[in-house]
Structures are given as C-alpha cells and as structure tokens.
DNA sequence: ATCGGGGTTCCAGCCGCTGGAAGGTCAAGG
DNA sequence: CCTTGACCTTCCAGCGGCTGGAACCCCGAT
C-alpha cells in the first residue's frame, strides 16, 4: 500500500504521514522503487494518531500512548495519567480563553461601532480609565 | 530610556520588544551608542500591545488596533469589527476544547487506572468498539 | 514517446516569541 | 588605569506540528 492509500484510509494527509515517519512515530517498509510500503498495522497506527491528535494530545503524548497501546503488559494507570494531565492542560486553556471572552464581550458590547472615533475597546487597551461605567443592577 | 526600563514599565520582556521593533510595531530612536531610546509614547504603545496580546489578538490585529488608536479620525466600527471577529475565533477555540474535554472526561472516568492493561482510552483511540457501555440513567 | 498522476527528498515558512553566542558600552570600585 | 559586572547590541536557531513548493523519479495508459 502506497502513501496515498494509507492517507485515504487513515484520514491523514500524506505530508503528515511523511512527517510522522520523520519523527519516528511510524516506520513503514520500502518497496524496491523507494516508495513507502504501508502494512495494515501502520494504517491502524496512523488512524490512532489521528484520533489522539484530534483529542488534542501533543505529539509526545501520542508517542507515549502509541507505545502503551503496543505494549500488552501496560498498566492502564499510565494511560490514565497522561489523559488526566492533558485534561488539566485543556482546562487551563479553556479558562484562559473564557477570561478573554468575558473581557472582550464586555468591551464589544460597550462599543458603539459607528463612524465616531470614541471607543471603549481602545480606551481599555490604553488602560486610560477603561471601565465604561459603574453600571446598575439591570446589566446582569 | 533604555530597553530594560521600557521592559519594566511596559511589562514586556526586552526580547519581545526587540522583536516588535523587528516586525515594525514600534520604531524607537537610537542613542549615539546604538542603544534604543524609548519615549513615553513608545512605552504606552508597548503596554497597549501587551494588553491586546493578553486578550488573544494576533500580532496583525494588534498592528491594526495600534494604527486605529493612533488615528484620531478612526471609526469605532473598525475597532469593533476586529474585536468581534476575534471573539468568534475565541468561541470556536472554546468549542473545540470543550468537545475534547467532554470526550476525554468520559474516557478518563471509564478507565480504572490500575495495574491492569485494559484501558477504554486506548480502545477508543484504536476505535475498536470504544463506547464503554450503553449506560443507565444514573450516570447523568 | 509522451502524458498524467502517483511517488521521493529537501528546504522554507507559518506564529510569536525565546534562548544563546559573541561582542560593545558604561558606571562603580580597587 | 583596569577590571568587574550589568547592561546593551546583532544574529542565528529552535519551539510545535505541520504545510507548501521545488526538483526530481516511477509507472501505466495512450
């Protein structure tokens, strides 16, 4: 099986597959003509990698997960630990984005968005007494 | 004012300030000895950039925002549009992360995390009938 | 013989810094 | 006057995870 078919079956672009070989995630054989020769097991690995990446695991996490997957005497605790750490990372990112989102939403709401130059968003970024107003209860 | 003080006042690392000059966000003067000479206005710009970056704006967005900030005949609509588009980007990222979070949380919960090899996380990544069980109502 | 659609390698670029090497400048202290 | 040490300078490389492109090879069909 050539790289094109492996790409089609695994759902990964051929470029990505070559890259994964480059960094040692997979080691396909070679045909006499130099073409990569993928076995079923490699396509499985590629699909595994695609799903792990879709869950946001780093390449290094993927490498570890792949090794654990291959190793029949693994301990599920090792897998779980990786997943839990990744979960924490995701939570941190979500928290950061949520904070940004809250600030931006407030600023966007306060901005008239018309042809006049006055803009609470720029005032906030300039930190010149940015807070729009002390607000009243009806806001929330 | 040298770069060290500008860094201290703006809250940005000196390295980042040099980089910002490199890509044309600021244009500090130079002393006779070749040292960058920062004016107050440049420190203000740097702080502005720091806050914009903290809100997750891209460098190109920052460039646009900075230009609008400088331009007294701006229209707040231009600022607002940039902010709204960025808000959409943030929302997409949050959505993506939230999806990952949900999947991972389910998988982590299903994994025993002990010394045995059986692991629903790996099963899911391998896509071999991953769903743990049809579950009953008490789960949620 | 030629053409199109595969495949190959290698290098560069994306984003936004960050680290490090190799060197210049300056004020203070011996 | 010399040294020390803290600052400053430029330039190059690397992070993650690909992605695009150039320049080339291979293979089957016409």
Q: Is residue A122 part of a domain?
A: no
pLDDT at B137 (0 to 100): 54
Give tens-digit pLDDT for A5-53. 999 999 999 999 999 999 999 999 999 999 999 999 999 999 999 999 9
A35: containing domain: 1-57
Give domain status of residue A18, yes or no: yes
Whether A35 maps to a domain, the answer reads: yes
In a domain, A127, yes or no: no
Q: Tell me if A6 is assigned to some domain.
A: yes
Burial label, A45 (beta-carbon count in 10 A; 0-12, 13-18, 19+): buried
Place of tokens 């990698």: A49
Secondary structure of chain A in HEC code, one letter for each residue: CCHHHHHHHHCCCHHHHHHHHHCCCCCCEECCCCCEECCHHHHHHHHHHHHHHHCCCCHHHHHHHHHHHHCCCCCHHHHHHHHHHHHHHHHHHHHHHHHHHHHHHHHHHHCCCCCCCCCHHHHHHHCCCCCCCCCCHHHC
Contacts of A65 in chain B (CB under 8 A): 121-122, 125
Q: How far apart are CA B82 and CA B100, in angstroms?
A: 27
In this prediction, residue A129 carries a pLDDT of 55
Which of A54, A55, A117 shows the shortest C-beta gap to B74?
Answer: A117
* CATH number of the CATH domain containing A17: 1.10.1660.10
- The Å distance, CA of B34 to C1' of C30, is 30
Contact residues, chain A, for B117 at CB < 8 Å: 71-76
Report angle CA B117, A10, A72 to the nearest 5 degrees.
15
Considering all CA atoms of chain B, what is the largest pairwise distance in Å, rounded to the nearest integer?
Answer: 77
CA angle B78, B80, B85 (to 5 degrees): 100
Name the B residues in 75-104 with CB < 8 Å from any A CB.
Answer: 75-77, 79-81, 83-84, 86-87, 90-91, 93-94, 97-98, 100-101, 103-104
To the nearest whole angstrom, how far is the Cα of B42 from the nearest Cα of chain A?
A: 12
Q: Is the pLDDT of residue A133 over 60?
A: no
Question: Positive or negative, the Cα torsion across A96, A98, A99, A101?
Answer: positive
Assign A139 a pLDDT band (cuts: 50, 70, 90): very low
Interface contact A60, partner B, CB < 8 A: no
Nearest nt to B4, CA vs C1'?
D7
How wide is the angle at C-alpha B92 spanned by C-alphas B75 and A106, nearest 5°?
A: 45
Whether residue A70 lies inside any domain: the answer is no
Q: Which of B79, B117, B124 sits opposite A122 (nearest CB)?
A: B79
Q: Are B66 and B42 in contact (CB under 8 A)?
A: no
Please list the pLDDT of chain B residue by residue as tens digits (140 residues): 999 999 999 999 999 999 999 999 999 999 999 999 999 999 999 999 999 999 999 999 999 999 999 999 999 999 999 999 999 999 999 999 999 999 999 999 999 999 999 999 999 999 875 455 554 554 44
Residue B25: list chain A partners with CB under 8 A.
Answer: none
- Residue B15 located in a structural domain: yes
State how many domains chain A has: 1
How many CB atoms lie under 10 A from the CB of residue B50? 17
Confidence of residue A130 (pLDDT cuts 50, 70, 90): very low
DSSP B127: T
The pLDDT score that the predictor gives to residue B128 is 72
What per-residue confidence (pLDDT) applies to B139?
43
User: With bands split at pLDDT 50, 70 and 90, how would you rate the model's confidence at A127?
Assistant: confident
Residues B26, B17 contacting (CB under 8 angstroms): yes
What pLDDT score does B136 carry?
53
Of A94, A120, A95, A124, nearest in space to A109 by CA: A120
CA separation for the pair A43, A28 (Å, rounded) = 10
Residues with CB under 7 A from strand C: A 2-5, 7, 14, 18, 34-36; B 13, 15-16, 18-19, 32-34, 53, 58-60
Q: Does the pLDDT at position A107 exceed 90?
A: yes
**Residue B51 near chain A (CB below 8 Å):** yes
Q: Which residues of A touch B125 (CB under 8 A)?
A: 48, 51-52, 55, 65, 69
Residue A31 lies in a domain: yes
Does the pLDDT of residue A140 top 50, yes or no? no
Rounded Cα distance, B127 and A111, in Å: 48
User: What confidence score (pLDDT) does residue A47 get?
Assistant: 98
């Amino acid at each position: 099986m050539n790289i094109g078919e492996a790409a089609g079956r695994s759902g990964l672009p051929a470029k990505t597959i070559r890259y994964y070989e480059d960094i040692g995630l997979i080691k396909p054989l070679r045909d006499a003509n130099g073409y990569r020769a993928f076995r079923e097991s490699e396509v499985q690995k590629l699909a595994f990698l695609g799903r792990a990446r879709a869950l946001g695991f780093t390449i290094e996490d993927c490498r570890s997960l792949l090794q654990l997957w291959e190793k029949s005497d693994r301990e599920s605790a090792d897998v779980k630990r990786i997943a839990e750490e990744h979960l924490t990372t995701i939570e941190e990112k979500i928290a950061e984005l949520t904070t940004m989102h809250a600030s931006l939403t407030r600023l966007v709401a306060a901005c008239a968005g018309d042809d006049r130059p006055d803009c609470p968003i720029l005032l906030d970024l300039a930190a010149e007494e940015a807070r729009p107003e002390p607000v009243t209860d009806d806001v929330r």
